[in-house]
Amino acid sequence: LGTSFAQNGFYHKAVVLFTQALKLNPRDYRLFGNRSFCHERLGQPMWALADAQVALTLRPGWPRGLFRLGKALMGLQCFEEAAAVFQETLRGGSQPDAARELRSCLLHLALQNQRGGIREPLLSTGFPQPFSQAGPGTSSLLSVIRPPSTAPRAAGLLSPPLHYPPSHLSHCNSTLPQTQSRRPHSLHLRDTSKGSGILGLRPQHLPQAR
């Protein structure tokens, strides 16, 4: 039912239904992915990011979870980090929507470079630039560690979306809204061939427990 509401654009209602479903099955990664989609459409990329992280914790390497993570990062204006995630999504096979979003990220980065030069990303990607090619051993490039709580948020009205000024990556370190999870979500995407992280989000930058 939540999926039907989401497909018809009733994202607030869909979030409530997905949250209720998660109370019955808190380890269903697809529900977190669907709720991430709704938050992204509602202009709430921080919530979308948190749900995408949980989905990937429950199902590491899930292509749609990676796509949802990339979309959330785009909403936070973290285009270089999003491009790295979309690249990894594409390594899993043909993903036309991921290819489209990757092109969009590269376009945003090119526009940023024209406006003010290249800025250092606040989140380490491990890639010299978004369009670099990864070396051997990338099949298991992304893994999620420190699994967060899967407790769903309570149903009800959502917080109003936050405003992120364009052409800056500084919002990647913005404080996220509060959640009812018992502990903060933390995502670390690891390059297993090098032993170094390509995307690390510290707990203080993710939804905190109430």
pLDDT digits (tens, 9 = 90+) for 105-130: 999 999 988 887 555 444 433 333 33
Top-confidence range, 22-31, 137-146, 172-181: 22-31
Question: Alpha-carbon distance 162 to 178, whole Å?
Answer: 13
Closest by CA position to 162, among listed 38, 46, 16, 40: 46
As a whole number, mean pLDDT of residues 50-74 equals: 96
What pLDDT score was predicted for residue 176? 43
Whether 166 is covered by a domain: the verdict is no
Q: What is the CA radius of gyration of the chain?
A: 16
For the chain, the domain total comes to 1
**Looking at residue 10, which CATH number applies to its domain?**
1.25.40.10
Q: Is residue 160 part of a domain?
A: no
* pLDDT for 66 beyond 50: yes
Q: State the burial class of residue 156 (Cβ atoms within 10 Å of its Cβ: 0-12, 13-18, 19+).
A: exposed
Q: Is residue 164 part of a domain?
A: no
Q: Which domain holds residue 138?
A: 2-154+171-205
Model pLDDT for residues 162-176, shown as the tens digit of each residue: 333 333 334 454 434
pLDDT, one tens digit per residue, over 71-89 is: 999 999 999 999 999 999 9
210: in domain: no
